[in-house]
Amino acid sequence: MFAITDAHFVGPDVKRFEVTAPQIARHYQPGQFVIVRVDKGGERIPLTVAGADPDQGSITLFVQGIGKTTCTLNNLETGDSIADVAGPLGKPSDIRTYGTAVVVGGGVGTAIAYPVVRALTEAGNRVVAIVGGRTSEHVLLKDELAGTGADVVICTDDGSQGRPGFVTDALAEIIDSNWVDIIFAAGPVPMMRAVADVTRPKAIETIASLNPIMVDGTGMCGGCRVDVGGKTMFACVDGPEFDAHLVDFDLLARRNQSYADIEAADLAAFSSDCSLDKR
Amino acid sequence: MSAPLTKRERMKLERVAMRERNADERARSFDEVNLGFTAEMAKLEAMRCLECKQPKCIDGCPVGIEIDKFLRLVADGQIGAAAEVIQRDNLLPAICGRVCPQEKQCEGACVLAKKERPIAIGHLERYVADYVRNEGFEYVAETPAPTGKRVAVVGSGPAGLACAGDLIQSGHEVTVYEALHEPGGVLVYGIPQFRLPKEIVSAEIAGLETLGVRFEMNAIVGRTYTLDELLASNDAIFIAVGAGLPRFLEIPGENLIGVYSANEFLTRVNLMKAYLADNDTPVLDIKGKRVVVFGGGNTAMDGARTAQRLGAKKVRVLYRRTEEEMPARREEVRHAREEGVQFDFLVSPTELFGNDGVLTGVALQAMELGEPDESGRRRPQPIAGSVKAIDADLAVVAIGNGPNPLLLATVPDLGRTRWGTIAVDEETGRTSMPGIFAGGDIVTGGATVILAMGAGRTAAASIEDWLTSGEWDTTASASVE
Ligand SMILES: Cc1cc2nc3c(=O)[nH]c(=O)nc-3n(C[C@H](O)[C@H](O)[C@H](O)COP(=O)(O)OP(=O)(O)OC[C@H]3O[C@@H](n4cnc5c(N)ncnc54)[C@H](O)[C@@H]3O)c2cc1C
Ligand SMILES: Cc1cc2nc3c(=O)[nH]c(=O)nc-3n(C[C@H](O)[C@H](O)[C@H](O)COP(=O)(O)OP(=O)(O)OC[C@H]3O[C@@H](n4cnc5c(N)ncnc54)[C@H](O)[C@@H]3O)c2cc1C
Ligand code: SF4
Ligand code: SF4
Ligand code: FES
């Protein structure tokens, strides 16, 4: 069992967890994730590690409640525990001194992008973090991002904070008027696809953190396979970060819907007070 | 007691048939298919043994169980004593009795195999193991004096379990590190409930825990622990991570929804128990659907029979050679057929096609057998111009597994073979790195439970040598190519 030492909501349906997992904290590198099974009978789901404290032996997770498993998890409180946490999995992000880097995060993707922002600034890059959400409330980790020293650009659909409009509009403007060496994107599939479309004409290296459905997370099942440049890759061991210009996003979007009917029925049968914020 | 039968009389007796659940009933149920022998059946079957002076059956068993001895004890009704004989060579008899390919091993070598009625050694081994487990027979191992030595076992499949079992009985401290949340390897995630009930696997594992073996789940060596970390805190390491990397067909359409590797399909159903209502992991709904399975091994049979049980309308196994060459256990092929699985031989898929990203069918190329290849099996080759398409809503790819690269990628210095498996000295299980041993599927490629177990025991014996002598004789370790 893995103890939850702190749990609190940081957005309408996003909860932040501190979980005791000393071995994972010791080996974690930005870009990696864990596989979590909330309880006996539960499914195994991937969650990005947003940070780790090797001294405290703890890791930080941000969870957006979108289905039965994430909602069950978000019902847990400080003092509860999680049955299984395995990791750190996946290849770490390729953190180097690129020069200028733009990191784009949408929704819970901001949590995935946050450790990358921190690592890139620590590596001496000039970093712009573009983060979006539907309303001001839906923009995660504003203070944390600002604390890294990155320039933070906030975009909201309703204009309640920062620029009104999509993260990709802000991105297009930035790359039009600035030299950018690399772009990292994490968030919903349509957002990552749109980022790739914006940067492709300028041939700026763009990395997307993919989020296919996973089971084991160790390369054993092949359920997480994605198509990158016509080659089949296992996102859990070959990724989760890939060259966004080569990713078949249609395939990823479709495969993520494989169990949509079953999952919807599961969630309906599972009564919870977890708000379901479909974007 | 009546007078013992003469050899001639015994040779006339028929092989006692296993009781099985009726095919119609079991084709829709995950309950175990084989129902076991009764005491009378076991006695009758064991009595048929001719007690050969040089029992050929033993040569056929990879771990050399003293089969003639245990059969004699079963015939005499001394089941506890029979169990002790088996336990000397095999720590997982309830499992091996169920899943060994007996027709190629012990039973294939039995002198009575010529008359097509070899002693049902597997069924009897299972009987003995089940009997002692159900009767709560305590297997009292003497508590060994602690040696103060520590060994880490990586992977909890049959190789890891067998190695841990031997080492703990020599007084070493043993911890098994397992990547998944449950121990057992293929025994829990691959082989289905209806063939090997999971309660049996957990009972055997509980037995090891009673002896003092520690199990640490969710421990992915190479990630959660580095091999160096384990080396620093242990006196030896046994790597038994299996052949867990699924091979795909590498044809168009392979990533359509509805195309599963056998590993994924079976893991969803077995390990994650997707067939039970109160478990969350989903599996695609195949009630009333058409399922195709590619391959001819045990994995393919398990995939096909699992699909049948999930309510498929029609399940077809598509194999590129003929029935003769199928590597699956004979019993599984027969069971699958009785349950309604259809077999198509000499066909190979060339394309999977779909509608809106969802699988709808497969194109099949007709094959014929040509000259034998290196493995001695006749090589299938396409018959020009002969391609047909069939409908399919779900495809299960069961064409084999490669070595899982996750751990190996973190230890570039560990010697491998040209197949990417770990290179070891066969006699000792020693790798190219002092203190590190390996065995099971990660060394041989996908093989069998009993071979993996045997490798675990070989390694345990040579770990014992290393722990007492402290000498790493380079001639008895893997030579790196
Ligand atoms: C490498 C990786 C890192 C991730 N990191 C995080 C994270 O830090 N925080 C977080 O909240 N989520 C993260 N996710 C997504 C998270 O794993 C899914 O939201 C979760 O598995 C959904 O489970 P559920 O039972 O709650 O929802 P389900 O009921 O399974 O799904 C609800 C809906 O979402 C779709 N869906 C299912 N799985 C995924 C998926 N993997 N990605 C997108 N949509 C999916 C389903 O088709 C369905 O329509 C990550 C995914 C990956 C692969
Ligand atoms: C579906 C199926 C059916 C089969 N049917 C039969 C049969 O009827 N009869 C028969 O004799 N054989 C059968 N086999 C083959 C047999 O199961 C294998 O040969 C045997 O299990 C190999 O044992 P092993 O201990 O080497 O590895 P495995 O059983 O594969 O166990 C390896 C374990 O190591 C774990 N692991 C992997 N990487 C790491 C890591 N980095 N850190 C920690 N742990 C790790 C894995 O999660 C796994 O639990 C079948 C195989 C399959 C797939
Ligand atoms: S372990 Fe397997 S091969 Fe050996 S006697 Fe038992 S069933 Fe036969
Ligand atoms: S070879 Fe057959 S008949 Fe002979 S001892 Fe073995 S089981 Fe008995
Ligand atoms: S999740 Fe199973 S191989 Fe990636």
Residue A58 is predicted with a pLDDT of: 96
Both A11 and A80 in one domain: the answer is yes
**Whole-number average pLDDT of chain B:** 91
Residue A262 is assigned to a structural domain of this protein: no
Tell me the mean pLDDT in the region B186-211.
92
Residue B69 is assigned to a structural domain of this protein: yes
Residue B475 is predicted with a pLDDT of: 67
Residue A275 is assigned to a structural domain of this protein: no
Residue A279 is predicted with a pLDDT of: 35
Domain boundary among B399, B422, B437: B399
Domain boundary among B352, B371, B399: B399
Q: How many domains does chain B have?
A: 3
Q: Where is A242: in which H helix or E strand?
A: strand A241-243
Q: Domain of A24: which CATH number? A: 2.40.30.10
Both A183 and A229 in one domain: the answer is yes
Residue B404 is predicted with a pLDDT of: 85
Residue B184 is assigned to a structural domain of this protein: yes
Pocket of ligand 3 contains residue B121 by CB under 6 Å: yes
User: How many Å apart are CA B349 and CA B108, to the nearest integer?
Assistant: 33
Residue B154 is predicted with a pLDDT of: 98
Both A156 and A240 in one domain: the answer is yes
pLDDT in tens, B54-82: 999 999 998 899 999 999 999 999 999 99
ipTM of the predicted assembly exceeds 0.85: yes
Residue having the nearest C-alpha atom to atom 3 of ligand 5: A219
Side-chain-side CA neighbours of residue B77 (13 Å): 3
Dihedral angle sign, alpha carbons of residues B248, B253, B257, B258: negative
Both A110 and A144 in one domain: the answer is yes
Range(s) of the domain holding residue A6: 2-89
Pocket of ligand 2 contains residue B299 by CB under 6 Å: yes
User: Which atom of ligand 5 is found nearest the CA of A222?
Assistant: 3
Residue A3 is predicted with a pLDDT of: 94
Both A73 and A105 in one domain: the answer is no
Domain boundary among A66, A89, A112: A89
pLDDT in tens, B299-324: 999 999 999 999 999 999 999 999 98
User: What are the structure tokens assigned to A236, written together?
Assistant: 């859990």
**pLDDT tier at B481, thresholds 50, 70, 90:** very low
pLDDT in tens, B142-158: 778 899 999 999 999 99
pLDDT in tens, B259-279: 999 999 999 999 998 888 788
User: How many Å apart are CA A221 and CA A215, to the nearest integer?
Assistant: 7
Both B271 and B220 in one domain: the answer is no
Range(s) of the domain holding residue B188: 150-244+402-476
pLDDT greater than 60 at residue B226: yes
Of residues A134 and B478, more confidence is placed in A134
Tell me the mean pLDDT in the region B192-211.
92
Give yes or no for a cis peptide into A88 (omega within 30° of 0). yes
Q: How far is the CA of A218 from the centre of ligand 5 (A)?
A: 6
Residue showing tokens 């967890």: A17
Residue B1 is assigned to a structural domain of this protein: no
Both A181 and A242 in one domain: the answer is yes
Residue having the nearest C-alpha atom to atom 47 of ligand 1: A257
Residue A142 is predicted with a pLDDT of: 85
Cα distance between the two ends of chain B: 62
Q: Domain of B427: which CATH number? A: 3.50.50.60
Residue B139 is assigned to a structural domain of this protein: no
Both A123 and A245 in one domain: the answer is yes
Residue A267 is assigned to a structural domain of this protein: no
Residue A229 is predicted with a pLDDT of: 95
A81-82 sheet: strands from edge to edge: A81-82, A2-11, A14-20, A58-64, A44-53, A33-37, A84-89
DSSP class of residue B15 equals P
Both A10 and A41 in one domain: the answer is yes
Both A146 and A251 in one domain: the answer is yes
Question: Of chain A residues 225-254, which have a CB less than 8 A from chain B?
Answer: 225-227, 232, 237, 250-251, 254
Residue B144 is assigned to a structural domain of this protein: no
Domain boundary among B90, B109, B134: B134
The CA R_g of chain B, rounded to the nearest whole Å, is 23
**pLDDT tier at B478, thresholds 50, 70, 90:** low
Pocket of ligand 4 contains residue B55 by CB under 6 Å: yes
Both A53 and A116 in one domain: the answer is no
Residue showing tokens 């084989």: B34
Both B263 and B344 in one domain: the answer is yes
Residue having the nearest C-alpha atom to atom 7 of ligand 3: B122
Both A19 and A75 in one domain: the answer is yes
Nearest alpha-carbon partner for B195 in B62, B18, B343, B446: B18
Residue A271 is predicted with a pLDDT of: 60
Residue A179 is assigned to a structural domain of this protein: yes
Residue A277 is predicted with a pLDDT of: 43
Residue B141 is assigned to a structural domain of this protein: no
Both A232 and A133 in one domain: the answer is yes
Each of the 279 residues of chain A gets a pLDDT tens digit; together they read 999 999 999 888 889 999 999 999 999 999 999 999 999 889 999 999 999 999 999 999 999 988 889 999 999 999 999 999 998 999 999 999 999 999 999 888 888 899 999 999 999 999 999 998 888 888 888 888 989 999 999 999 888 888 888 899 899 999 988 898 999 999 999 999 999 999 999 999 999 999 999 999 999 999 999 999 999 999 999 989 999 999 999 999 999 988 887 777 777 776 655 544 433
pLDDT greater than 60 at residue B2: no
Q: How many domains does chain A have?
A: 2
